[in-house]
Chain A
Amino acid sequence: MTFLTGWGRTSPTPATLVAPRTVAELAALVAGSPPRGLIARGLGRAYGDAAQNAGGLVADLTRLEPGWSLDPATGVVTASGGTSLHDLMTGLVPKGWFVPVTPGTRHVTVGGAVAADVHGKNHHLDSSFGAHLRSLTLLTADGTTRVLTPSDETFWATVGGMGLTGVVVEASFGCVPIETSRVRVEVTRTRDLDHTLEVMAATDDGHRYTVAWVDLLARGARTGRGVLTRGDHARRDEIPRARDPLAFAPAARVAAPPWAPNGLLNRATVRAFNQAWYAKARERRVIQDIAPFFHPLDFMEGWNRMYGPRGFVQYQFAVPFGAEDVLRRVVSRLSADGVVSFVPVLKRFGPGTPGMLSFPLPGWTLALDVPAGLPGLARLLRVFDTWVAEAGGRLYLAKDSRMRAELLPVMYPRLAEWARIRQSLDPEGIFRSDLARRLGL
């Protein structure tokens, strides 16, 4: 038995970890009807308990028939489910292609990106990962594989379906042509939350990638002040005559100290960081490499340990346009309570996918990390949940580790439709995770 947690390092549970090398091996495991079920796990970047299965089987997919191929004519990549976006980028970028969507880390698998229908800084223009998929190969509970296309309802139950419809063993998706491996970045500071929202709404569509960092420790008139970062793939003529415009070599990773105590990220250290970050962010335009722009935290291996042994909770919600007041209330409350969150991120979402449990909806999303040991956190987040649900918003299941099951059908109105499809695919509930048990999925 191996104790597993999500990236937030809370609620460890033991499971039998298996690492099938072939789809046949994986199919045999599934066909064996493990009494406590099976769930696929990639690189363990889901924050909560989506890739844990207490007392059951957890299939590590990172060694499952590795490999991917690119059709250079169409830019369509076909990759095995366990392929990481890091490996893909390492191969694709020098060829002049970029993944259609990347979350804040490259260390996620294609299967995980499908199961969580991940979004990136380009959601307002390009939607989420599912929108770029051409086909999926899904291993289902009966031990067979089926190829799904966006015209199948099972396809959309799987995109965002948190691995509970089956295992995504292969996926094909369109990539984005790039001239260089650099990003032209514009940085702007905002005065307060309303200013942040205003600037984003007015200028987001002019940039492929945008994101705002929010200073949650700023109070009074400065509540919700932020640093807005907008980027576009740089054209060849915009970068200095470098030897190789498509070079992709992310800096070697440094490891976070394994002994980080609880409370290292406290109000004083985060306030100091926020002050420095805000002060540093003068209006400027720079050319950056892909890695620091898209995946700033990847340079530190195991940064999640910085929250200490009790771990942390990531709270990410989305609310539709028109519900900006929920954002204001959440930010004011966090700011008033002095809640420490290291890198709170605000984004503007565009159209979602037809994924039944897919998270993004047209509107705003705010993501924050909070130490799990913070007194009163459970109550505070429950209040936020209510505000979000009442506004027609939702929480991100790939990050959730503590929401109440009752709110799920409110936040995900297509839950019943999803459950019907899942029930027909997997009547005995072979695909099971701690997340599924906790939320009654």
Chain B
Amino acid sequence: MRNALGAVDSVLLLGGRSEIGLATAELLVRAGARTVVLATRPTPAAAARAADGDGPAGRLTRLGAEVHEIDFDAARPETHAKAIDTAARLAGDLDVVIAAFGVLGDQAAYEDDPVSAAESVAVNLGGHVSAGLSVARRLREQGHGTLVVLSSVAGVRVRRANFVYGAAKAGLDGFAQGLGDALHGSGARVMVVRPGFVKGRMTKGLPAAPMATTPAEVAVAVVQGLRDGSPVVWAPRGLRLVFTAMRVLPRALWRRLPR
């Protein structure tokens, strides 16, 4: 249960290797969370990491959390309801669920290979729809809990430079807002997080955009948002103003933006 000062007991991270997700889970554990469930795509590498205790699970355990790892494949929506049930069996009530899975991919490659583009959308949007609805059903039954959805400024206004990714994020952002409205009055909530360019594994090799941020900074913003009960979190906060302007920028100018 969330306590009077906003600390929580349990965290489920969908996308158990997400840097932002892990940084957020770590902050929540430092603030008192006792149980973390890492839901990760089952790969031999993941299994090896789990076994040696040196990965993210080991770090969270050393901070005092009870950590469970479960299989979660964003591309297989038919498995999502079961994964959420498993997580709830391990953790009890789910206080915070962070949906942080996704792939960035390469726009040029997507344009060459429409099938791979559709597959990435299936993860970045479709996976969130099935997982989000399963989480929502659980949170509604509980009467409390927050689903944190990692959207992106890329979805606020889709750009030519990464419109496959951006379109999926735009869909996800809309889905998350609608889901939040659907849960209104149930005690459960959805918090949409819109980071800008995040320097990390996902963007390695890409030149940083203006107002670039880090997973740790996004995590701080997420935790603050959870404490305040914010419906939307921008990271960094200044992006909100920037995108207010970007939304009304004439399209002829918008499509010429370099990246």
- Residues of chain A touching chain B, judged by Cβ–Cβ distance below 8 Å, are 1, 3, 8, 10-15, 35-36, 48-49, 54-56, 311, 313, 372, 377-378, 381-382, 401-406, 434, 437-438
A54-B143, A55-B142, A378-B7 known; A11 and B2 CB under 8 Å?
Answer: yes
Q: Which of A13, A382, A402 contacts B143 (CB 8 A)?
A: A13
Pair B1/A54 contact, Cβ less than 8 Å: yes
Q: Which 7 A-B pairs have the closest CB atoms?
A: A55-B143, A10-B4, A401-B4, A54-B143, A438-B1, A402-B3, A14-B187
Alpha-carbon distance between A35 and B93 when the two chains are bound, in angstroms = 13
A134 to chain B, nearest CB (A): 35
Find chain A residues with CB under 8 A from B141 CB. Answer: 35-36, 55
- The number of inter-chain residue pairs (CB within 8 angstroms) is 75
Q: Does B240 contact A (CB under 8 A)?
A: no
Q: Which of A3, A54, A382, A402 contacts B4 (CB 8 A)?
A: A402
Q: Which of B9, B31, B185, B187 contacts A13 (CB 8 A)?
A: B187
Q: Knowing that A13-B187, A378-B5 are A-B contacts, what are 6 other residue pairs whose CB atoms are under 8 Å apart, sorted by A's residue number? A: A55-B187, A372-B4, A372-B5, A401-B3, A401-B4, A437-B92
Find chain B residues with CB under 8 A from A437 CB. Answer: 1, 9, 92-93
Pair A56/B31 contact, Cβ less than 8 Å: no
Q: Which of B4, B93, B143 contacts A14 (CB 8 A)?
A: B143
Alpha-carbon distance between A3 and B187 when the two chains are bound, in angstroms = 8
Alpha-carbon distance between A268 and B32 when the two chains are bound, in angstroms = 32
Pair A13/B144 contact, Cβ less than 8 Å: yes
Alpha-carbon distance between A42 and B7 when the two chains are bound, in angstroms = 27
Q: Does B79 contact A (CB under 8 A)?
A: no
Q: Does B169 contact A (CB under 8 A)?
A: no
Pair B144/A55 contact, Cβ less than 8 Å: yes
By beta carbon, the residue of chain A nearest B142 is A55
Q: Does B34 contact A (CB under 8 A)?
A: yes
By beta carbon, the residue of chain A nearest B140 is A55
A14-B187, A54-B144, A55-B142 known; A405 and B4 CB under 8 Å?
Answer: no
By beta carbon, the residue of chain A nearest B186 is A14
Q: Which of A54, A311, A382, A404 contacts B142 (CB 8 A)?
A: A54
A14-B186, A55-B144, A405-B34 known; A438 and B3 CB under 8 Å?
Answer: yes
B1 to chain A, nearest CB (A): 4
A54-B142, A54-B143, A405-B34 known; A8 and B187 CB under 8 Å?
Answer: no
Find chain B residues with CB under 8 A from A404 CB. Answer: 32
Alpha-carbon distance between A1 and B140 when the two chains are bound, in angstroms = 11
Find chain A residues with CB under 8 A from B3 CB. Answer: 11, 401-403, 438
Find chain B residues with CB under 8 A from A402 CB. Answer: 3-5, 7
Alpha-carbon distance between A379 and B217 when the two chains are bound, in angstroms = 20
Find chain A residues with CB under 8 A from B142 CB. Answer: 36, 54-55
A36-B143, A55-B141, A437-B92 known; A377 and B5 CB under 8 Å?
Answer: yes
B3 to chain A, nearest CB (A): 4
Scoring B1, B3, B4, B143 by chain A CB atoms within 10 A of each residue's CB, the highest score goes to: B4
A375 to chain B, nearest CB (A): 11
A272 to chain B, nearest CB (A): 27
Alpha-carbon distance between A7 and B7 when the two chains are bound, in angstroms = 19
Alpha-carbon distance between A8 and B4 when the two chains are bound, in angstroms = 9
Pair B187/A405 contact, Cβ less than 8 Å: no
By beta carbon, the residue of chain A nearest B144 is A54
Pair A311/B4 contact, Cβ less than 8 Å: yes
What are 7 sample pairs from A and B whose C-beta atoms fall under 8 A apart?
A11-B2, A14-B143, A15-B143, A49-B4, A313-B5, A437-B92, A438-B3
By beta carbon, the residue of chain B nearest A437 is B1
Alpha-carbon distance between A67 and B140 when the two chains are bound, in angstroms = 38
By beta carbon, the residue of chain A nearest B6 is A378
Q: Mark B55-98, 1 if CB is under 8 A from A, else 0.
A: 00000000000000000000000000000000000001100000
Pair A405/B9 contact, Cβ less than 8 Å: yes
Q: Mark B29-43, 1 if CB is under 8 A from A, else 0.
A: 001101000000000
Find chain B residues with CB under 8 A from A49 CB. Answer: 1, 4
B125 to chain A, nearest CB (A): 29
Find chain A residues with CB under 8 A from B1 CB. Answer: 11, 13, 49, 54, 434, 437-438
By beta carbon, the residue of chain A nearest B9 is A438
Scoring B1, B2, B142, B187 by chain A CB atoms within 10 A of each residue's CB, the highest score goes to: B1
B17 to chain A, nearest CB (A): 28
Find chain B residues with CB under 8 A from A13 CB. Answer: 1, 143-144, 187
Pair B187/A54 contact, Cβ less than 8 Å: yes
| Residues 193-236 of B at the A interface (beta carbon under 8 Å) | none
Pair A1/B4 contact, Cβ less than 8 Å: no
By beta carbon, the residue of chain B nearest A48 is B4
B6 to chain A, nearest CB (A): 8
| Residues 1-19 of B at the A interface (beta carbon under 8 Å) | 1-7, 9
Find chain B residues with CB under 8 A from A35 CB. Answer: 141
Find chain A residues with CB under 8 A from B6 CB. Answer: 378
Find chain A residues with CB under 8 A from B185 CB. Answer: 1, 14
